Every structure is written in C-alpha cells, then in structure tokens.
Chains A and B, each alone.
Chain A
Amino acid sequence: MKFFQLLKILLFGPKVTENEKTIREFPVDDQFEAVGQELKETIKRLYGGRSLRIRAVDAGSTNAEEIEFTALNNAYYDIDRFGLSFVASPRHCDMLFVSGPVTRNLENALKTTYEAAPSPCIVVALGDGAIDGGIWKDSYAVVGGVDKVIPVHIRIPGNPPRPIEILRGVLGALNQKNF
C-alpha cells in the first residue's frame, strides 16, 4: 500500500532537516549586523516606519552585481528585517540600484525608469561599470557611467561590491543631506 509506505517514510524515515544545534551555533557577522541596525534606525527616522523600497535596474552589467545584491535577500543576510525591500516597479521605489555600464540599447530604458519613479528618488551606481564604464569604458557600445544618463547620488565601487559594502553605501546615501 502506497499510503502506508508514505506513512512509514514520514514517521520512521531518515531526518532530512538540519540539526537544531548547528543552526544555533552558526557564526554571526557582527559587522554586518551593526551596519544593518544603524540602517534600520536611519530608515525608521527618515521614512516614518515604512521600509525603503529599491528598484534594481540592470543597465548592461555582467550580472556580478546582481548576484551580490540578490544575496542581500537570502536567508543569511535577510535585509528585509532592516526595512529594505526590492520592488518590481519604479512606480513604487525610493531608490534605484543601477548596475553595469549603460549600453546604448538600455540608455532609453534607464532614462524612462528614472522618469517613471516618484521623486525624490535616490540613484545608486552599483559597481565599477556603473561608476565610469569600468573595463568597457570608451567602448562604442556603451554610453559610459550612469551619471551620463541620469543624476547619480552615491557610487559604490567594487567589481562587484560585497553585500556589506552595498549596505554601507545605502547608509551613506541616506545620511547625505541633499538629493
């Protein structure tokens, strides 16, 4: 009987979940937690309790930056607890993450995304490519840094920047006085 086989596996089969102890004793990145806590307080102060919404725009990157800031969402970093969230439309965002040198094909898309976002919108140039074109600088296919298309408020260098550096950059952007 399939049903009893299933019950047998469920009740007496091997355990497939992690041991509780190993999870409890997982090392915590204290530096990251500290930045996160500070960010949490800053966002609470600036946005009155709601979270900071981020829209990521890939303007022609190698996806290295994407992997890093996607890591922010995973179970280890879990930035949602600090009050940051990624949204699916520029209509909902407070902050734009732009990665990669702006290719000519995506120049218009980046511009319309910025125009569609409600102001004030903080623009973060993520990675060396976004800052000045990186290794594609002066190529015929790219426009150059993000600041050639839309105004940039903060630049996070690195190729790609580590998640903690991204968070530090966001914190720095929020602590700026003028946008």
Chain B
Amino acid sequence: MTIDTLAFGFFVYFFGLFFAGCFALLGGQWKKSVQLFVLVNVIGFITGILYLFNFAPKEIILASWSWLFDFAPTVNLLSAIFFTVISGVSALVGIYSMRYLQLYEKTYNPALTQFLTVIFVLGMQGVLLANNSLAFMFFWEVMSISSFFLVMADKTSQSVRAAFLYFIMTHLGASAILGGFLILSGGNLFFEFNDITFLSANLSPMLVVLTFLLFLFGFGSKAGLVPFHVWLPEAHPQAPSNISALMSGLMLKVAIFSFIKIVFAMTNLPDWAGLVVIALGLLSAIVGVLYAVVERDMKRAFAYSSIENMGIIFTMLGISIYLLSQSADDSIVVVSNIIVVFAIFHAINHALFKTALFLSSGIAISRFHSKSLEVMGGLAKIMPFFSFAFLIAILSAAPLPPFGTFYGEWGLIQNAIGLLHNPLLSSVAMLVIFGSIALMGLISGLAVFAMVKIFGISMLGLSRTAHIDERSEKTDFLLSAPVMMLGLGVLVLGIFAKSIIGWLNGYGDVLATSTSAESISAITSHLSSSMVFLTFVIFLALTYALYNFFGKNVSEREYKTWDCGQSIDATMQYSATAFSGPIRFFFLHLLGRDKVLKSAAVVETNHWIRKYTFSLSLRSVWKDKLYQPIAGILNFLAQRARVIQGGRIQYYLLFVLGTLIVTLIIVL
C-alpha cells in the first residue's frame, strides 16, 4: 500500500464525480449518471477506509498545483473520517435516487437534479480536502450554490421562498467566513490552513475575538445553530428527500468539520469563547428538540432534530474549548480532546441516522402524498420491511443503546461527571459543566419523545388518509434498502463504539489540533459497547426461548383489537397534535402558537346548535422577534436609499466619481 495508490483512489473519485456530472448534464442520461455516482462513491469510501487503516494519522498532500492558486488537496485524519462518511452515505443515497428520481420524474427534472447532486457532493468533498482559504471558499460556494438550486428543484413558490432565505443566510455566513480569513491573514487570501495557529498568535486580542465570532456565525449558520437557524427548517423540507438527506446528513457535518479544523487551530481565544459556543449549542439543542416534538410536518420535524443534534455537537466542542481555556494541565487537556472525539463520533452517527430518517420521510411522503403527520399512519402494514428499517433509524435517533448515537452522548455526560471531581476547575466551570449535564438530560428525554411521536403516528395504527398508495413493497426495495443499511451502520458503530472511540482517542491530539504531549487515561467509556449489544441479544434470545418453551401447550387464537363493539376507525387514533400537547403546554412561552376556536350558529334562528372550528398553527418566535425587525430596518433603509436613485445615468457617473475621490482620499 503506497501513497500513490491512495492518491490514485482520490483522483479516480473526483474525476468519476466530474464524469457523472457530465453524463447527467450533457448526455441527459441521469440513470447512468446515478450508477456511476454510486460506483465512484463506493471507490471513495474504500479509499477513505484504506487511509484510515494504513496511513492514519499522517497528513498526506495528494498533489500540489502551484499554477492553480497553490491548491494542494490534502488529507489528514479529520478530513479522512468525514470523507469516508460522506462518500459512503452518498453511495447509499445514490442507490435511493435511482428509484426516487424515477418516482418523481414529473416533479423534478431528474437529469438536472442529478447533475446538481453530483456537484453538491463534489463541493462538500472539496471543502474537506482544501488546503488554503481560497480553495476552501471556492468549494464552500460550490456546495452552497448547488444546494440552493436543489432546494427549489420542484419550482413551487414555497420552495423558491425557502431557497432564497437559504441563499441569504448561507451567503451571510460565507461572507463572515471570508471576513474571518482575511482578518486572520491580514488581507492575504491564499494562506495555508497550517498557518492558522501561527497567524492567530500574532493577532491582537480584539481581532482574534472578531475572527472567532465571524467563524462562529459563518459555520454556525451553516450548521443551523439557533438563532441563525431559520433557513434550515424551511430549506431542508422543501428539497427532494434524497437532497434533504444529503443536506441534513452531510452538509451540516461539513460545517462541523470546518469549525473543528479552523477554530480549534486558533490560539489566544478569550476565556468566554467556549462559553458562547456552549450557550449557543445548548440553546439550539433545546429549541431544536422542542420544535421537533411539536412539529406536525414530518420533514420539518427531522430538520429540527438536526438542529438539536448540531446543538449537542457544538455543546461538546464548546465544552472542549472552555476546558482548554481553563487549565493547561494534562488531565484537563486529555478530557478536552476526548470530548472532541465524542463530538466527531456523534457527528458520524448523526450523518448516518439523519440521512436514513430523511430517506424514510421520502418513502412515507411518496405513499401518503403529503408531508403532514396528521394524514399518515398504518404504513407498517403495507411496508413491513421499510418500517423495520425506519424503526432502527428512529431508535438510533432517540438515542438509545445499543446504537452508536447513544455512546456519543453518553461519553460526554460520563466525562463531564468525571470532571466534577477535578480540583483544578473553578466553581464557575463546575457550574457550567453541571448545567450542561442537566440540560443534556432534558434534551435526550425530549428527543425520545419526538422520535416516538414521529414513528408511532406515521407507521402504526390505521391510515388517516384515503389517498394512501398501497402498491407492494417489492417495487420500492431500492428505497428501503439504503435506509436499512444506514440503520445497521449506526448499529455497527454502536457495537464497536468502545474500540472506535478508543482508536480515535489515540489520535485525540491530532483531531483537536491542540498541543498535548501524551494522552493518558481518559474515560473513553466504562460501558463496553459490544457487551451491551450482547446483553440485548441474549435478552431477546432468552425471551424468545422462554416464550416458546412455556407457550408450547397454550392454544392461541389471533383476533383484532377489542373495539367495545363498534368498529375502529382512524379518527379514534392519537393524533400528532394531541401527542405533543403536554410539551406544548409546558413550554408555551418558548414555542409560541396561534390557537383559534371559532363558533358559529348552524341555523340563524337557533343559537344553541353551533359549529366549532379549531385551528392550531405554530409560529417561529425567532422569526417574529429577531428576523422580522431586522428585515423591517433593512426595508426602511432601502426606502431612504431610493432618494438618491434618480434613474439618470449622469447621477450614477457622478456617484462613481465621488466614490473614487473618497477612496483616493482614504488611501492616500
């Protein structure tokens, strides 16, 4: 195994993606393009795995093109992990697309959608391999713009609105990142990422703070941190389901990757930097999970769940930054590094299960022809295999053992509790950690609630709509198989969680790019994850064996649910709105909703017989209280600016001259 082989793998990957794009755009043969896309991503996945097994944690420069703005695709441990995950998940999404694009051939333009998907994945992978700021920004924009077009793939007015909101937010973020780069390098656009530590050490504290805040806004808005999240629940559900899966599962991970890569390399961060990240992370997690509980649109609920998980990951990263600023003692640094490892582990799991969930939502929507949970139900009877796969994905999102997601969150809580014994930390730090643990408990509990709601309402019971598509599951095998594989992927990560985390922790200092000497005993996990899985298996087998042993002589007769004499119909079922009622009640002030009960007499002369109509709509407090005022101010300023817009060319020439004079005065 040589570096050349590895580099060859990466080049095949990128050229393959390029050709897949050409196939779709020029040839219009989207089916071939999808097949090539899957094949290429499998190659990428294998290449990533090869790197992880043979070369980790070396940093490998795959090529160096000085003529192309010094672009030298570089792979290190952190980017290789994300590269592997992105190519693996993309391959499965590609399998899904084969059937999905065929189903929606009339709604979306398959060739164009496939082309944009390829470019989108290319952009994401490019960000991972970028070695300098220009390449980074280039691929970042490729990723953003291709996903912008994908959001409005069905060309409805709602999608276009969502896409433009996304466009504005992502470009505000991108300009913030660019601003951060420029401040960091003192105006140089081509600086190497390896120099960040050096550059930030030479900056004045004010500028470091400014850079940090710009990066936090830039990456935070991409990752959907509250309060920069408004675009996410609008844009993700509007995109085709395979694209929502890519956006939620993978694009958000690119933001995480960039945040770790750039912010963790900076030095001289103020003490409160970590606190800001923790605060935003916890806020996102709580707001995200609450909206996920009360949301009745399936895809929006999943989008909010993404915000929640991003919040959890940023909380972990924040705690890590905060710990590093508290003390440089080895015991603290080691814990800080392992928390970053747990964050990465959680990000990998989230990439898998959130993709699975969005793919599942696509399947459900293709059957019910609606995104609303209120018309779903009863799909488990028609699609047993799919609903089982969906159940695995839901359980891993919950998060419950023995799935990988559980160990990511568990590791944070375990390490945080371990820190409470550490005498090096001040009481304020203790309080911060303690508060984080408590809130993580609340968030995990509510996440279970949200996931149980989504699965129970959409899959179980009877169908709430007459428009359900009851064709056989066999035709949709290409749709359910990737969901199953992603779910099993999370399960496998869960079984080997201890060894994976232990292995990653060996390179914890490389991942967190901090300068720790040797990694001594940090708590990877007291729980042996494979033993947990084994316990589950043994209990299941035991239950089955006992049931068969004792139930041998019992005669059984299957009969439908006891219905008290009147036949059961869908209106008797628990609805999604009613299910989330208690949570809506407890968090009334945080959620905000419009409840309208109208009553009108059926007959004018008789006021006793009345007809009641009830409507409940959720509104975003953030949009009302934060974004509307800003939009109002911008509109006001634009109105004022119109005064100087005469519409005559002479005026504009005058403005150009005036600007030139002012600029010259400033410069000279």
Contacts and interface: CB of A to CB of B under 8 A. Distances in A.
B565 interface: yes
Nearest to A108: B565
Interface stretch (A14-22, A113-121, A133-141, A155-163): A113-121
A116 B563 CA distance: 9
A91 B562 contact: yes
B557 A90 contact: no
B636 interface: no
A89 B562 contact: yes
Interface residues of B, number: 8
Nearest to B561: A116
Nearest to B565: A109
A89 B562 CA distance: 9
A118 B565 CA distance: 16
A151 to B, nearest CB: 16
Contact of A119 (B557, B562, B567): B557
B663 interface: no
A106 interface: yes
A106 B594 CA distance: 43
Interface residues of A, number: 13
A113 B567 CA distance: 12
Nearest to B555: A119
Nearest to A110: B565
B201 to A, nearest CB: 74
A105 B563 CA distance: 15
A94 B565 CA distance: 18
Nearest to A90: B562
A115 B559 contact: yes
B566 interface: yes
B557 A112 contact: no
B562 A109 contact: no
B77 to A, nearest CB: 59
B595 to A, nearest CB: 36
Contacts of B562: 89-91, 116
A115 B557 CA distance: 10
A115 B561 CA distance: 11
A109 B562 CA distance: 11
Contacts of B564: 109
B590 to A, nearest CB: 41
Interface of A: 89-91, 106, 108-110, 112-113, 115-116, 118-119
8 contacts: A89-B562, A90-B562, A110-B565, A112-B565, A113-B565, A116-B562, A118-B557, A119-B557
Given A115-B559, A118-B557, 10 more contacts: A89-B562, A91-B562, A108-B565, A108-B567, A109-B565, A109-B566, A110-B565, A113-B565, A116-B562, A119-B557
3 A-B pairs closest in CB distance: A109-B565, A116-B562, A91-B562
